[in-house]
Chains A and B, each alone.
Chain A
């Protein structure tokens, strides 16, 4: 149990729709990041947020966007869904100010785009 919770656990959308995924960070953590994990592959970094601002981004298009709130919870928004967006979306939190920070992951949201 990492203390990182994600909702919903499963979601089905159709192509072209928009989706919002939510993440509650572990208590005391100030940084959150999102990863996409396609079936059979390792997680791929989407972006991270620190102090409510995006602070690093992977190779994902602008239709992937996010928010971090003052209580350090976070949302991942994906617009204009494509079939290839079907994946497990993982949220991870950490304490930014610690050297060698460890990431704590939630169990993810399984998104299916039909």
Chain B
């Protein structure tokens, strides 16, 4: 799986959009971008994934650049409960249960 690079930490004001960047310059054509988050004392939670088109669901939006070398996870209206570590992972569409987690970004949402 391609390696990803994320900033170690970010702050966001409650109610504002949180934009979390991820670099994956060595991504292959058949690799998807996945985002998971881990709230303290819980297991990781799936957020969203995409191949090359932008994606949106009830939790977040995923913007992938045209060259697919980077992406941004957007939480449109961050709440205090969005405080967590966010992991960007790239992997082939079917790779079993093996996810390669990096260090992630620790997002702190502040009142």
A interface residues with partner B (beta carbon < 8 Å) = 2, 4, 31-33, 41-45, 48, 50, 55-56, 58, 90-92, 94, 96, 99-108
Q: Is the CB of B96 within 8 A of A100?
A: no
Q: How far is the CA of A24 from the CA of B86 in the complex (A)?
A: 25
Q: How far is the CA of A94 from the CA of B43 in the complex (A)?
A: 14
Q: How many residues of B contact A (CB 8 A)?
A: 22
Q: Which residue of A has the minimal Cβ distance to B92?
A: A100
The residue that B98 contacts in the complex, of A41, A45, A99, A104, with Cβ under 8 A, is A45
Q: Is the CB of A103 within 8 A of B32?
A: no
Q: Which residues of A contact B41 (CB under 8 A)?
A: 107
The residue that B46 contacts in the complex, of A50, A56, A96, A104, with Cβ under 8 A, is A104
Q: Mark interface residues in B16-45 (1 if CB within 8 Å of A CB, else 0).
A: 000000000000000010001000011111
Q: How far is the CB of A81 from chain B (nearest CB, A)?
A: 22
Q: Is the CB of A94 within 8 A of B103?
A: no
B interface residues with partner A (beta carbon < 8 Å) = 32, 36, 41-46, 49, 85, 87, 93-94, 96-104
Q: Which residues of B contact A4 (CB under 8 A)?
A: 43
Using A41-B103, A100-B32 as known contacts, say yes or no to A56 and B97 having CB atoms under 8 A apart.
Answer: yes
Q: Which residues of B contact A48 (CB under 8 A)?
A: 96-98
Q: Is the CB of A43 within 8 A of B103?
A: no
Q: How far is the CA of A33 from the CA of B45 in the complex (A)?
A: 15
Q: Is the CB of A105 within 8 A of B97?
A: no
Q: How far is the CA of A32 from the CA of B98 in the complex (A)?
A: 10
Q: Is the CB of A100 within 8 A of B97?
A: no
7 inter-chain pairs at a CB distance below 8 angstroms, sorted by A residue, are A33-B97, A42-B85, A44-B101, A45-B98, A91-B43, A102-B49, A105-B44
Using A42-B87, A42-B103, A100-B49 as known contacts, say yes or no to A31 and B43 having CB atoms under 8 A apart.
Answer: no
Using A42-B87, A42-B102, A107-B41 as known contacts, say yes or no to A102 and B96 having CB atoms under 8 A apart.
Answer: no
